[in-house]
Amino acid sequence: MGLQSNSVPTANSAPTNPVAAKPMVSAQNVAKTVHTYEGALTILQDISLDVAAGESLAIVGASGSGKSTLLGILAGLDLPTSGSVFLNGHHLTDLDEEGRAKVRAENVGFIFQSFQLLPGLTALENVLLPLELHGVSNARAAAAEFLGRVGLAQRLHHYPQQLSGGEQQRVAIARAFASSPRVLFADEPTGNLDSATGARIIELLFDLNRELGTTLVLITHEERLAMRCQRRIELNAGRIANSTVQT
């Protein structure tokens, strides 16, 4: 797949949304401050962004720049200290934890750097977990089908320890897509993989994204992965240093 990188630098003020009118994920003036022994620590500041439905966004930046924190806030795992966050029209910052859980259940999928497969569960059962949690009927068939799609049809009943890192990440992808989320959040999905395996995982991710119309928000250190996204923002010390639309 070829890449056309027509990077267009924009001002670091309010970002525009070139794809759709109603954003799938939206943050307005988000800031995050935590209190530590050394006093208040501002991790995020003045963050505003919109991600349209079906769009893919890469968040890049140095280690400790606040990427994971931002991802957590956008996904409704955590609350910002100030500012508002919307996910598929739900005002996350107005909801309580129960309400956010409900929004997550209906809209969100995750992939993490350290795979987060449950070691006691087989590949199939790991994929089954969100489906069962949401009470999907025919969960087994759906899970098996998704595992087939990521090329693990023969490994349904293997435990994570019996799978390689790439295979484990493919299970994680299958799990993330199995519940057909509107948005998929991924924190360094290829961080632990060698580049060949990483490349295959990237392909898989974008295939599914295209096929299912899933919105993608992912953190990465890998240029290869960042380039595949339609847009990228770069964090620097908790602020958006750069926002780039790529086509």
Partner 1 sequence: MLALRLLWRNWRSGEVKLLAGALLLAVAVVSGIAIFTDRLQRTLVQESNVLLGADRVVRGSHPHNPEWEQAAKEAGLSQTTAVHFASMVYAGEHMHLASVKAVGEGYPVRGQLETSLVPFAIDPQQITIADGIPAPGEAWVDSRLLPLLNLQLGDRVAVGEYELTVTRVLIREPDSSNPFSFMGARLLMNQADLPLTEVVQPGSRVQYQWLYAGRPADVEAFSAWLEPQLNPHQRLVDVGKNQQNLGRALATSQRFLLLAAVIGVLLASVALALSARQFANRHVDQVALLKSLGASSGRVRRLYFTQLFVLAVLASLAGLLVGEIMQRIVEEALWRSYQIRLGSGTVYPYLISLGSGLICLLFFALPALWFLPYVPPMKILRRELTVGRIQIGVQVALAFFAILLLVLMFSQNLKLAASVIGALVAVLLTTALLALGLLRLSRSLAGSAGSVWRLAVANLQRRREQTLMQIVVFSVAIMLLLTLTIVRTSLLDDWQAQLPDDAPNHFLVNIPQHEVDDIQQLIDERHYQRQPLYPMVRGRLTHINGVELSATKVAREGVFNREANLTWTADLADDNKVVDGNWWPQWQSRHGLPGVSVEVEMAREADLKPGDRLTFSLGGLAMEAEIASLRSLDWRSMRPNFFFIFEPGALDQFSPTYITSLHLPPSDKAFINDLLQRFPTVLVIELDRIFEQIRTIVTNVSDGVQLVLLLTLAAGCLVLLAAVTSSIDSRKQEVGLLRALGSPRRLMLGSVWLEFSLLGLLSGLIAVLGAEILLASLQHWVLETPIKPHYWLWLTGPLLSALLIGGLGVVSCRPAVNTPPAVVLREAG
36 binds ligand ATP (CB under 6 A): yes
Angle CA(212)–CA(217)–CA(221) in degrees, nearest 5? 125
**What's the CA gap between 123 and 160, in Å, rounded?**
7
116 binds partner 1 (CB under 8 A): yes
Report DSSP state, residue 13. Answer: S
98's contact among partner 1, Mg ion, ligand ATP, none, with CB below 5 to 8 A by partner kind, is: partner 1
**What's the CA gap between 218 and 232, in Å, rounded?**
9
Residue nearest to ligand ATP (CB): 68
Q: Residue 161 CB: number of other CB atoms within 10 A?
A: 8
Q: Considering the complex, what minimum distance in angstroms separates the CB of residue 187 from partner 1?
A: 6
Closest CA to 235 of 4, 3, 32: 32
20's contact among partner 1, ligand ATP, Mg ion, none, with CB below 5 to 8 A by partner kind, is: none
**What's the CA gap between 64 and 15, in Å, rounded?**
23
Q: Considering the complex, what minimum distance in angstroms separates the CB of residue 117 from ligand ATP?
A: 20
CB 215 within 8 A of CB 55: yes
Interface with Mg ion in residues 26-85 (CB under 5 A) = 68
Question: For the window 4-43, what string marks contact with partner 1 as x by the rule CB under 8 A?
Answer: ----------------------------------------
Q: Return the range that interacts with ligand ATP (CB under 6 A); candidates 57-65, 84-92, 163-171, 207-215.
A: 57-65
Q: Which residues bind Mg ion (CB under 5 A)?
A: 68
